[in-house]
Structure 1
């Protein structure tokens, strides 16, 4: 356990020094998400969201702000780890992958340490913005003081497990730009970030089931918009935990397969 902690923290420090070496990076981590949130908000405002609007069945005009705020908060968490996993493919150019596979360290410690570092560095600024903005928008309704901390905790844990899974996936090839395209924009469209999943056609709802962000946003909105208590979110929480356990088990198995494939073919630095 001590060795696992050392690997975990060492990978966090490495990711911090590699990816967050400039104050301009932190500036962009606030400005870009804030601009996308404002853009999405004013993209919906011109439409009729009154009693005769089809979307009125899913959220009222007073809840647009908090609906998009929770959606983009979750999206930024997961997007930062899609970015992190995409950068994992570039490790093949620098030789870091060889060091990971040849050194006697926990593979999952490296993978989840990297995910945790990029998550914490990538989202804390926008999270601060989101919490401040939450005090200004209408529609927030919580059952108790613990609702928001619980939602954020589930968001962090889910994002780290998702990020670890993606890091393993991106270990298999350095030509991973198509995976980034598949995992980023569709997640924004189908996970319910801007439009409720319930308002999507059947094929859109089926696509939403692929992304863990869908389940996290459902719980986050049940806690912050619907004001549900802990016992009331247990069904949604059970589904989320099942998805996370599956992702964790798949990550461990795929990490073993990736290492075996690399040792067998010797293609650590090739396609």
Structure 2
């Protein structure tokens, strides 16, 4: 377990124990256990309906009234970014980021956060005037301005075109390196998970069936080979057969 600057054992950012969630007769999460360390970047993969978003919503405290058992412990400072940026259309971009912000100089902090994501020239724009990528930049600014210890991302780039998605991935890595929250990213994109995360989980039938540390050698050729191995392993765990892999190779 990680130690803090004083050499003391640091509590993890997330501890889930026996987490179970049901919708009617169907069990979506089946006694899930998970620990995420402080500052750790974890990606969560799974087929549609596997319970990825249900797990994220549980950690965010957004699943009130959903039957289930188990326990989870998360930090007080938790932020969530969804696939839909969820900006209030009647408020300008800077007002969306500043909304509900407590502490000193909330306006300055909102402006600084927007500068971090490259939206200095768009602070007075209305959300409908922003592109999809700009809206997600604003959503990231709104989350990170609150200095979260845990950042939850539910397919935040899923609706973006390929080029914008690559730019947003690079921006996310840069922001996470600066702010150092623990991160749980829900995604359908295997390559995105490998590229961004230090650790990748696969959820299937309510349980984690893969928990893989992502480490690469420094040599470029060896790195490319390892990337391909990890990608194939994750795809197989998602039901993609070796024959499928050969057809798309």
Fold shared by both chains (TM-score > 0.5): no
TM-score (norm. length: structure 2)? 0.25
More helix by share: 1
TM-score (norm. length: structure 1)? 0.24
Higher relative contact order (CA 8 A, sep 6+): 1
